[in-house]
Structure 1
Amino acid sequence: MAITRRSMLGGALAAGAGIGTMAALPRATAAESAAAAGPPGDVVGKISVGYQGWFACQGDGSPINSWWHWSQDKSKPPSPSNTTIKSWPDMSEYSRGFTTAYPNLNGGGPAQLFSSWDQQTVDTHFRWMRENNIDTAALQRFNPFGSEGPTRDGMAQKVRQSAEANGRKFYIMYDVTGWTSMQSQIKEDWTSKMQAHTASSAYARQNGKPVVCIWGFGFNSSTRPFEPGPCKDVVDWFKAQGCYVIGGVPTHWRTGTDDSRAGFSDVYHAFNMISPWMVGRISSAAQSDQFFTSVNTPDKADCDAHGIDYQPCVLPGDLQERHRAHGDFMWRQFYNMVRLGVQGIYISMFDEFNEGNQIAKTATTAAGVPSGSGIWALDEDGTACSSDYYLRLTGDGGRMLKGQIALTAQRPTAPVR
């Protein structure tokens, strides 16, 4: 299995997470939760989901014309020995599927996958967001100056069209991983291409400003070697352009340890909103409780003290590693973050079939996965779950965040309708 850009250091951090208490604690007071918050907008008081939109297939008409993000060798169709994915999508609502080199599904029929390049795929995903009251999508954008650039440019337009059609919001989320000339090129890309999308009625705004996220500053990783000075320059530049800037930062940004390099405090505190990464850091409800005490609570206090909005990650769990506990893991995170009084919640991720952390519709039983693949379906722990379960769970988490349902440690969402 290929290591994805955001799962590095996860094992070591998770191992040190410890086990916490499952006791129910009260919600933060209104005064505490409002300390740093801007007014409700398209990210404050809202559920945002990370949207990769990076899957392509040979013959799908995309400029990249390869099995992009489905295969290790993207010139060849994915197979058990040539794959980058950990979960299998429920393909029943896609108008077109592309046949892979996996064996047929256990339930019969070819093992097919979708292409994000198909407008119908993006339309389907944004319809699911609308149907489940998911507010905002953060479109991931990597270095667009290489061979992937035309495909990434096209995906931005497709996401804009679907967001407008479905009454959802979207914003550009730059990931600086491996982007050598990031400091100058990210500014060029914004002014020459992505800024034009802020004219859309669907482009997310917060405090009246277009939202931009920059993910990856300060990470203790050789693929993100940038020094504090260039990073601070980029944050300040986007703010000078009139943007509300979110920082996708390391889990331990506040202490400058573990996955965070030292010396980045001024960079982190320059952001309007901080969204620390959590994939690979926790894998159980008990660990969510431990992070609530040792990480999330002091993180929010630091943000409050600096007038920064706090948008922690909530993740469904790695399905292939059997972390999900039929929704109990994800719901405990929703409960912990809402009782903390956070300004917004970021779901990691909508369509992350590579890391197995997707909330998009997923195969429900072994009948829906390729024979002999070893890929787990949503019923891996013996509890039947409908393919849209994690979409519905996210919708209910959003309702609790907005005060539309009471704070509750018991998930109100049944695994099957």
Structure 2
Amino acid sequence: MGTYMIRLVASSMFAAALVAASAVAQTTPAFKMSGAATREEILDHTLSAYRGRSARRENPQLLGSVTCGYQGWFTCPGDGSDRGWHHWGKGGDFRPGACTIDLWPDVSELSEAERYPTAFHNADGSPAEVYSSLNATTIDRHFAWMKEHGIDGVFCQRFAGEVRGAHGLYHFNTVLNNCRASANRHGRAWAVMYDLSGLGEGETSVVIEDWKALIGRMRVGRDTKDKAYLHHIGKPLVAVWGIGFNDGRRYTLDECVKLIDFLQNDPEYGGFAVMIGVPSYWREMERDCVNDPRLHDVIQQADIVSPWAVGRFGDLEGAETYANEVTRPDLEWCDDNGIDYLPVVFPGFSWHNMNPKSPSNQIPRRGGKFLWKQFNEAANAGAKMTYVAMFDEVDEATAIFKCTNAPPVGESTFIDYEGLPSDHYLWLVGQGRRLLRGEIPSGDALPPRR
């Protein structure tokens, strides 16, 4: 989501999951993305690509869960997206000195068909490889990791400014379907989260039109076979991120009111619980937030409020201060106003390759102590659920999926997992879920890993 200023051998069960994912990928109808493709052609393709297989009997609930944001925005030349090195490189180029990522994904478990060689090189001289979010097998692998480590699921990011174009629509519809199929296969949860960043005044209508297609053509949140779709207070859930920030956004609060009302109450496309992503300091309307009392009207209209915490503090003391000054009073306000509250936690932060003036490893992970402190503070404050930013965002180095301790060498500078196992943060987020549910005691020390 967003930017800082706002955002080797598998087990037999895991191998079986990958075989199943490959079967789905192979049965997906052939489709060649091009600028000439119509919106209807793209929707028809992504609709037919979905197979509603479920490992659940009932839909999962947000309360009591630990979910992650899932960007799914990475593409590679030759993956069928026709988008090149989307979100890997700068200006269409992905090479040493021209990249936007600070963490390098661990691709050692990926099959040859899932890996894409780059112009970067490992210490032994071999080409460094990355993955594409359009690969159904790779997405299925990610959901298998979630299941293995006890992570409930993801909010599948849907970037409103991108889905209005043919290439963006094909890309994010493909990711949506891959997430939906894999969430059902592995008994995980998923839901749609719209990111409004980049929309102009009057352009929240883009979300409304896109949502009509997701409901009308793809039955998102309506398909009775989709037992993985996330629910809240008895309703399917949709999130809208980017309301009330003071960073010059041109869409208005009045537009946001109409959008939330549409998602909640439209007779044909509504009936959803709505979560909104807002600035950290929404309650007092200061710092990262617009100074407009109308924002509180918008928040009271929503079912869940989730303040964006990434970059708002950078050490253990700051995490504790944030919990005392923001999380606890926020929870009290929400309790008084009948709104649920979803705090955001994050493992660390770095975006040096995207913004060279920013230092590398700007917010260190401290072996997981930084993230664990936030889980403890949220649980002790009384939070009933948490949102982890993010599952796969290597751009800002907030990813919790498997990343390598041996990134490429050369002109670009990368951070790593400080020598810890590549699944360390997957495991730690799973422990955060146990903490939230009262299954393990709170404490500053990381739980022992057996």
CA shift, 1:41, in A, is 5.3
Work out whether 1:85 is the aligned partner of 2:98: no
1:6 is displaced (CA, Å) by: 2.4
Of 5, 18, 36, which residue of structure 2 is paired with 1:8? Answer: 5
Alignment of 1:357-396 (within 5 A): 357-364=398-405, 367-379=406-418, 384-396=419-431
Corresponding residue of 1:236: 261
Paired residue type of 2:344: C
SS in 2 for 1:182: coil
- Scaled by the length of structure 2, the TM-score of the pair is 0.79
Question: Aligned partners of 2:435, 2:283: CA distance in 1, in Å?
Answer: 27
Where does structure 1 lack aligned partners over 5 or more consecutive residues?
Answer: 11-39
- Work out whether 1:290 is the aligned partner of 2:318: no
Instruction: Please tell me the residue identity of whatever aligns with 2:284.
Output: T
Q: Does 1:308 align with 2:344?
A: no
- For the 8 Å contact 1:218–1:226, the answer to whether it is kept is no
- 1:39-78 CA distance string (max 9 Å, x none): x95211100100001100001122x33111001112x3x1
Q: CA separation of 1:9/1:310 partners in 2, compared to 1, >3 Å: closer, same or farther?
A: closer
Q: Does 1:219 align with 2:245?
A: yes
Partner secondary structure for residue 158 of structure 1? helix
Task: Specify the SS of the correspondent of 1:170.
Answer: strand
Matched, 1:334 2:370: no
- Separation in 1, partners of 2:326, 2:155: 24
SS at structure 2 position matched to 1:376: coil
Aligned length: 372
- 1:406 is displaced (CA, Å) by 2.0
3-state SS in 2 of match to 1:247:
strand
- Please give the secondary structure, in 2, of the residue aligned with 1:213: strand
Q: Deviations over 1:197-245 (max 9, x none)?
A: 21111111112211100000111122x2222211111112211111111
Q: Write out per-residue CA displacement over residues 365-400 of structure 1, whole angstroms, 9 at most, x where no aligned residue.
A: xx3433453212211xxxx30000000000000001
- Equivalents in 1 of 2:244, 2:199: separation in Å? 14
Are the equivalent residues in 2 in contact too, given 1:163–1:170 (CA < 8 A)? yes
Contact 2:97 2:411 in 1 (8 A): no
Stretch deviating more after TM superposition (82-91 or 186-195): 186-195
- Could you tell me which residue of structure 1 aligns to residue 236 of structure 2? 210
Instruction: Spell out the pairing of 1:7-406 with structure 2 (5 A cutoff).
Output: 7-8=4-5, 42-62=61-81, 64-74=82-92, 76=93, 78-95=94-111, 96-102=114-120, 104-143=121-160, 144-146=163-165, 147-180=167-200, 181-194=202-215, 196-198=219-221, 199=223, 200-222=226-248, 224-240=249-265, 241-263=270-292, 264-318=295-349, 320-321=361-362, 323-364=364-405, 367-379=406-418, 384-406=419-441
Does the 8 Å CA contact 1:252/1:260 hold for their aligned counterparts?
yes
Q: Please give the secondary structure, in 2, of the residue aligned with 1:115.
A: coil
The normalised TM-score by structure 1 is 0.85
- Partner SS state of residue 119, structure 2: coil
User: Does the Cα contact within 8 Å between 1:42 and 1:135 map onto a contact in 2?
Assistant: no
Query: Are 2:199 and 2:250, in contact at CA under 8 Å, matched by a contact in 1?
Result: no
Q: What is the alpha-carbon distance in structure 2 between the residues aligned to residue 250 and residue 337 of structure 1?
A: 17
Q: How much identity, in percent, do the aligned residues show?
A: 35
Indicate conservation of the 8 Å contact 1:274/1:309, yes or no. Answer: yes
Is contact 1:41–1:205 with CA below 8 Å preserved after alignment?
Answer: yes
| Aligned partners of 1:363 and 1:369 also within 8 Å | no
Deviation of the 1:407 alpha carbon: 2.5
Q: CA RMSD in A?
A: 1.8
Which runs of structure 1 show a deviation greater than 6 angstroms over 4 or more consecutive aligned residues? none
Deviations 1:131-175 (A, max 9, x none): 111112000001211241111111111111111111101000000
Q: Which residue of 1 aligns with 2:353?
A: none
1:253-294 alpha-carbon deviations (Å, 9 max, x no partner)? 111111111221111121111110011111111100010111
CA contact (8 A) 2:407 2:414 kept: no
Whole-Å separation in 2 of the counterparts to 1:73 and 1:44: 41
| Residues 196 and 204, structure 2, Cα contact 8 Å, conserved in 1 | no
1:346 is displaced (CA, Å) by: 0.2
